[in-house]
């Protein structure tokens, strides 16, 4: 424990709190390992493939676990219908101690058609549930069934699909209440046509989400929003609604009162005209720590391996965690480090619930804070953290344990591509010491006049628990 000059304003630390949660933070992905390496030309057309041996396949699954992932997704070519791959993936996930999301097109078609068939009297609801159970039987009766997380159902549906998906979700959960009916939602930057599925629509994002919350009963909500852009002289830029999207989700979760989990995708590949590759660990950790500080329950990396160079809609780089030959890239190390940093918070943070955020707006150089000024999630006055200031933009997630004690996850919220260091000053009223978890390392610090100063490099954050 660091020393402190004995001045009248200093107080002795209280009893050091003991936190030892064994909770793990969920980490998923998009585009996992296939059972083959697929070759493509520059246009995205498949030109060949090489099957993986069983040993290679299992070794790649061990790489997934070693990188800190807790949930694997299917490979690109088996994403919606894995066939024999599904049982192989389930076995591999079980062996390396993670869970597996699967795709099964027979299941998806049954679910997509369930509402129409039941309402037309072609089958009863019970018969439809039994059909789904029959399709799932090969998974749920497998010796590796404990590794099954759920099934990929739909990515970024328009609101015109919500009635069908709501009915399908009900059928699915009658057949398999313990499994995840996985659907991922659009981000706030989606246009009205994408959100509604109807030409000429003027639907707003919040209305789109509200309808989803009203219709769907699952215990989570998932969406994607990718913040790292490449533009300008220095080649860096940051999406201005990255935090705002989290904030909207948290508002709707709070309004609903059911405490749904919040899942979000983070960026780990270059794609399209502006989203860039990861260039440093800061690119990964800044995204991950921001999500955790905003109360997110699961981060998912887009992507683990690379889609084709062109999927018919988007051009993708060859710079995800694994390239198209399933070789590790620099992004693997960056994301692995960020995942480990998040997990190092959990023995402490696993004991806390998210309450909101505190902002230190200096320049708002990534233009995120301006969207949050009227948010009910922004805490302007806190009972413990009486002052939160920084040299550059920063924010802190505010957490509370079962005894009402506070914890704070402070994040250097500057564009990580610009490599800006930050100094954060926290006044913790009535406390003489703090537990600090930073870069995966835990220390105890003696406060001077109730003040803690943190030096945070680009992409860094620190969990602070006063005592």
18 in a structural domain: no
Same-domain pairing of 339 and 356: no
Same-domain pairing of 318 and 271: yes
Beta bridge partners of 451: 427, 448
Distance from C-alpha of 168 to C-alpha of 181, rounded to nearest angstrom: 9
User: Phi/psi at 180 (nearest 5 deg)?
Assistant: -95, 130
CATH code for position 128: 3.20.20.80
What pLDDT, on a 0 to 100 scale, did the predictor assign at position 7?
Answer: 41
Structural domain ending residue among the three candidates 331, 349, 367: 349
Same-domain pairing of 89 and 238: yes
Cα torsion for 46, 225, 153, 202, to the nearest 10°?
A: -110
80 with 152: CB under 8 angstroms?
yes
9 in a structural domain: no
What pLDDT, on a 0 to 100 scale, did the predictor assign at position 9?
Answer: 59
392 in a structural domain: yes
The candidate with the shortest Cα–Cα distance to 296, out of 215, 366, 397, is 397
Same-domain pairing of 299 and 419: no
Positions in the chain whose pLDDT score sits under 50: 1-8
Q: What would the pLDDT profile of 299-327 be if each residue is shown by its tens digit? A: 999 999 999 999 999 999 999 999 999 99
CA distances for 223 relative to 177, 259, 395, 436, angstroms: 22, 16, 22, 31
Same-domain pairing of 181 and 297: yes
Tokens of 330: 């620099």
Q: Detail the DSSP E strand segments found in 313-432.
A: 352-360, 385-390, 394-401, 406-412, 422-428
CA distances for 118 relative to 74, 113, 165, 176, 212, angstroms: 30, 9, 14, 19, 22
Cα torsion for 49, 61, 219, 141, to the nearest 10°?
A: 90
Distance from C-alpha of 294 to C-alpha of 283, rounded to nearest angstrom: 17
What pLDDT, on a 0 to 100 scale, did the predictor assign at position 10?
Answer: 81
**DSSP output for 29-72:** EES---SEEEEE-TTS-EEEEEEPPHHHHHHHHHHHHHTT-SEE
Same-domain pairing of 313 and 278: yes
What pLDDT, on a 0 to 100 scale, did the predictor assign at position 5?
Answer: 38
Same-domain pairing of 357 and 342: no
CATH code for position 431: 2.60.40
What pLDDT, on a 0 to 100 scale, did the predictor assign at position 232?
Answer: 61
**Domains of the chain: total:** 2
1 in a structural domain: no
pTM for the predicted model, two decimal places: 0.95
The candidate with the shortest Cα–Cα distance to 79, out of 155, 186, 185, is 155
89 in a structural domain: yes
Could you tell me the residue range of the domain that residue 314 belongs to?
26-349
388 in a structural domain: yes
Same-domain pairing of 73 and 119: yes
Helix (H, G, I), strand (E, B) or coil at 96: helix
Same-domain pairing of 115 and 201: yes
Structural domain ending residue among the three candidates 317, 349, 381: 349
What pLDDT, on a 0 to 100 scale, did the predictor assign at position 384?
Answer: 96
Same-domain pairing of 79 and 186: yes
What pLDDT, on a 0 to 100 scale, did the predictor assign at position 203?
Answer: 93
Percent of the residues in the chain that have a pLDDT greater than 70, as a whole number: 97
What pLDDT, on a 0 to 100 scale, did the predictor assign at position 2?
Answer: 37
Same-domain pairing of 288 and 239: yes
Same-domain pairing of 169 and 273: yes
**β-pairing verdict for 148-155 and 180-184:** parallel
Structural domain ending residue among the three candidates 349, 376, 411: 349
Give the other-Cβ count within 10 Å of 50's Cβ. 12
47 in a structural domain: yes
3 in a structural domain: no
């Amino acid at each position: 424990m660091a020393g402190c000059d004995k001045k009248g304003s200093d107080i002795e630390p209280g009893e050091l709190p003991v936190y030892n949660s064994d909770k793990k933070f969920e980490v998923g992905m998009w585009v996992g390992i296939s059972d083959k390496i697929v070759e493509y030309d520059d246009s995205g057309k498949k030109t060949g493939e090489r099957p993986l041996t069983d040993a290679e396949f299992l070794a790649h699954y061990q790489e997934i676990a070693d990188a800190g992932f807790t949930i694997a997704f299917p490979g690109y070519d088996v994403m919606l219908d894995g066939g024999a791959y599904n049982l192989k993936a389930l076995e591999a996930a079980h062996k390396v101690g993670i869970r597996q999301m699967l795709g099964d097109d027979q299941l998806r078609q049954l679910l997509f058609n369930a509402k129409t068939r039941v309402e037309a009297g072609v089958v009863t609801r019970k018969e439809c549930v039994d059909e789904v159970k029959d399709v799932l039987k090969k998974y749920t009766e497998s010796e590796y069934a404990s590794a099954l997380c759920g099934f990929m159902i739909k990515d970024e549906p328009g609101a015109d699909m919500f009635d069908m998906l709501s009915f399908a979700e009900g059928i699915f959960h009658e057949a398999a209440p313990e499994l995840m009916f996985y659907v991922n939602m659009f981000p706030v930057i989606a246009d009205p046509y994408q959100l509604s599925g109807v030409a000429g629509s003027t639907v707003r994002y919040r209305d789109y989400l509200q309808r989803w919350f009203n219709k769907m009963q699952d215990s989570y909500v998932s969406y994607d929003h990718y913040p790292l852009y490449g533009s300008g002289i220095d080649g860096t830029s940051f999406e201005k609604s990255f935090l705002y999207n989290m904030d909207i989700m948290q508002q709707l979760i709070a309004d609903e009162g059911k405490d749904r989990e919040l899942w979000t995708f983070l960026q780990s590949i270059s794609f399209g005209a502006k989203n860039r590759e990861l260039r440093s660990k800061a690119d990964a950790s800044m995204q991950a720590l921001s999500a955790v500080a905003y109360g997110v329950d699961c981060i998912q990396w887009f992507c683990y391996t690379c889609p084709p160079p062109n999927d018919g809609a988007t051009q993708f780089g060859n710079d995800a965690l694994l390239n198209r030959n399933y070789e590790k890239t620099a992004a693997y190390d960056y994301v692995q480090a960020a995942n480990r940093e998040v997990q190092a918070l959990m023995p402490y943070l696993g004991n806390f619930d998210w309450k909101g955020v505190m902002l230190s707006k200096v320049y708002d150089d990534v233009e995120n804070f301006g969207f949050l000024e009227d948010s009910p999630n922004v805490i302007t006055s806190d009972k413990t953290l009486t002052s939160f200031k920084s040299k550059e933009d920063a924010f802190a997630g505010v957490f509370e344990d079962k005894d009402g004690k506070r914890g704070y996850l402070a994040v250097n919220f500057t564009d990580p591509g610009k490599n800006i260091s930050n100094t954060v000053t926290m006044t913790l009223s009535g406390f003489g010491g703090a537990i600090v978890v930073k870069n995966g390392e835990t220390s105890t610090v003696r406060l001077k006049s109730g003040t803690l100063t943190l030096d945070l490099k680009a992409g860094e954050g620190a969990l602070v628990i006063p005592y």
